[in-house]
Amino acid sequence: MSLQQIISEKVKVAVKELYDADLESIELQATRKEFEGDVTVVVFPMLRVIKGNPVQIGEAIGTYLVENVSEILGFNVVKGFLNLVISDSYYLNFFNTIKNNAKYGFVVPSDQNNSVMVEYSSPNTNKPLHLGHIRNILLGFSVAKIIKASGKKVYKTQIINDRGIHICKSMLAWKKYGNGETPASTGLKGDKLVGNYYVKFDQIYKKEVAELISKGKTEEEAKKEAPFLIEAQEMLRKWESGDAEVVKLWETMNGWVYNGFEETYKVIGVDFDSYYYESNTYLLGKDNIEEGLNNGVFFKKEDGSVWCDLTDEGLDEKLVLRSDGTAVYMTQDIGTAIQRSKDMPDVGGMIYTVGNEQDYHFKVLFLILKKLGYEWATNLHHLSYGMVDLPSGKMKSREGTVVDADDLINEMAKTASEISEDLGKLDGYTEKEKSAVYNMIGLGALKYYILKVDPKKRILFNPEESVDFQGNTGPFIQYTYARIQAIMRKASFSLDTLVTDIVLHQKEKELIKQLELYPEIIQNAANELSPAILANYTYDLVKSYNSFFQNVSIFGADSKTEKIFRVQLSGMVGNTIKSAFGLLGIQVPERM
């Protein structure tokens, strides 16, 4: 039982004995720094069931707790706040239970039949991954790791949008203007090569549209009648009918893209347990629509189209099958969700990492799946996130003005190297060692800058600001971790001693309180699907450690026992930083 649970239970007992009243819950908070104490009991909410002066009530409860709870040494009351002083022995005993626990804060999965599937990335195969994908990938991957740490089995997946007019545009442009070039012959990553032909298509298409307009066509007519678009549409029809030549080209160019994506995923440090392809799933869902029609979940209009009436839920009527019997995206998503539940029968919930422009789509999808009677549909979540902007403005794929993920990662390492060189951070390193650390700092800076922000908020990404070695940044936290490792290397004495009888410095106590929060932080981050909670906790822990480091001498301690304890405490803080950053997908350097 945690200290907070002990205090809550004892306060309830005190109120029952002193006032013959029952309290459902107790409000606790950390004691404000200007007052003596560690934990504060808020008395004001008790006035709903206890009549009297809050200060007097606080005094009576405080006296009871000192007499009946060994961990509580003393108290003071400020207005309606009962501040409790916790004994050093409690904090030392707690610390000794966690200091050698490499998995501190993590929960071992107990219910293997309640797994969670997390979908993220899910790119189109006509262009490389870009900055927008990076936020999606980092969020989804981190949330999957956090949920696993919170005690659930997790499947990481993505659905690759490998069919449709977008890839046919790249295919057609390559067929006409590619002269047979390949990733091997050009030295380009496959996703970049295919992306170049998507841009090429758009350039030619725009010229044709302008030419048609100059000949008297309206803009709308010109956009529909441009020969290059008509050819791309014909290519899509051939693909759907299984034309051997088109399918072979589609397989070849998508293969280039998949290889390119995998290279980028490897650099970012993310992976997947399974892949779904829209070319395999786009026909799913039609059987489910038929089943829903029979059950009265859907209804058919006069033109033969099938709809779901969601007006009772404050939404509108949603099309799920066109009058010609063809599917819409909603049909596919219904079918894919059901297929996933069949593929992984132990999945009790799914999380979709998709931008906030799809908020309404997922609200509708989840409602329809509930209406179809799937129990797991109550555990579907849309991990909705805001866009990422750069100081230069919005990104556009068709015009080739997107911030390419690979280029951005390389730029981050370059920025890290320039700033590190100016600060002399890596003096004495070999060039190879420097390169590895620059990549770690640059990627860490990028990941932390994005993950420290609440997913729902839009981000203005500033690369140079993210690589600052001061403030709430990845490099600042990485540097603190490296400093702790230097302390651990400097310690020339055994750290196996069990320290139980020292007087704690206030800064030491504050650090242990921060460490005590870690398991709860993991659970909160998992429940809220927010790596930001974990990122900002890590920053608070690092701030607390740096304050300790500046105010308390580690190797100049008065006794060897204190010296050992302070190194042990430093080591546990380092382990927690590494653990928390691991859940964010960020590496930490042993030296820096």
Per-residue model confidence (pLDDT) at position 402: 66
Distance, in Å, from the CA atom of 397 to the CA atom of 3, rounded to the nearest integer, reads 54
Of the two residues 422 and 295, the one the predictor is more confident about is: 295
Per-residue model confidence (pLDDT) at position 135: 95
For the cut 90, the answer to whether the pLDDT of residue 448 exceeds it is yes
| 135-188 pLDDT, tens digit each | 999 999 999 999 999 999 999 999 999 999 999 999 999 999 999 999 999 999
| 296-305 pLDDT, tens digit each | 999 999 999 9
| 453-492 pLDDT, tens digit each | 999 999 988 888 888 888 899 999 999 999 999 999 999 8
Per-residue model confidence (pLDDT) at position 419: 84
Q: Give 252's DSSP letter.
A: H
With helix as H, strand as E and coil as C, how does 462-503 read? CHHHHCCCCCCCHHHHHHHHHHHHHHHHHCCCCCCCCCCCCC
Q: What are the chain's domains?
A: 3-86 (3.30.1360.70), 164-272 (no CATH), 406-583 (1.10.730.10)
Q: What value does the mean pLDDT take over residues 358-370?
A: 97
For the cut 60, the answer to whether the pLDDT of residue 398 exceeds it is no
| 541-553 pLDDT, tens digit each | 999 999 999 999 9
Q: What are phi and psi of 389, to 5 degrees?
A: -110, 155
Per-residue model confidence (pLDDT) at position 423: 73
For the cut 80, the answer to whether the pLDDT of residue 83 exceeds it is yes
For the cut 80, the answer to whether the pLDDT of residue 426 exceeds it is no
Per-residue model confidence (pLDDT) at position 396: 46
43 vs 48, 87, 507, 581, CA distance in Å?
Answer: 10, 22, 27, 37
Per-residue model confidence (pLDDT) at position 421: 78
Of the two residues 433 and 373, the one the predictor is more confident about is: 373
| 86-133 pLDDT, tens digit each | 999 999 999 999 999 999 999 988 766 789 999 999 999 998 998 889
Distance, in Å, from the CA atom of 467 to the CA atom of 149, rounded to the nearest integer, reads 28
Name the average pLDDT for the chain: 93
10 Å Cβ neighbour count for 92?
19
10 Å Cβ neighbour count for 195?
26
Per-residue model confidence (pLDDT) at position 394: 47
Q: What value does the mean pLDDT take over residues 333-353?
A: 95
Three-class SS state of 545: helix
Three-class SS state of 539: helix
Burial profile 439-465: b = 16 or more Cβ within 10 angstroms, e = fewer: bbbbbbbbbbbbbbbebeeebebebee
CB 154 within 8 A of CB 223: no
